Amino acid sequence: MSHATTGPDALAEQIARTRQELGETVEQLSARFDVKARARESLQHGRERAAPYVVPAAAVAALAAGALIALLVWRRRSRR
């Protein structure tokens, strides 16, 4: 082994790499355990998935309400 690979410079470089890796690990763990952020991401994902169905669902609800009103009017007129 040469003196350069085990000397103070190599040790300082290894410490810097270890600190960098530790910092990245802490960031990953922080992101994983940030419940509020994960809930927001999940909510946003759900909204994005539901967006194509919002208009058709509203149309179906309006159609069902119209059919119900038409049925009630028809029944009321047929009783007279």
What distance separates the 2 farthest-apart alpha carbons in the chain?
108
Give the pTM.
0.42
- Mean pLDDT across 44-72: 88
pLDDT tens digits, 40-49: 999 999 989 9
Is the pLDDT assigned to residue 1 strictly greater than 90? no
Is the pLDDT assigned to residue 20 strictly greater than 90? yes
- Mean pLDDT across 61-74: 94
Q: Average model confidence (pLDDT) for the chain?
A: 88
Could you tell me where the DSSP H helices lie in the chain? 3-6, 8-33, 35-79
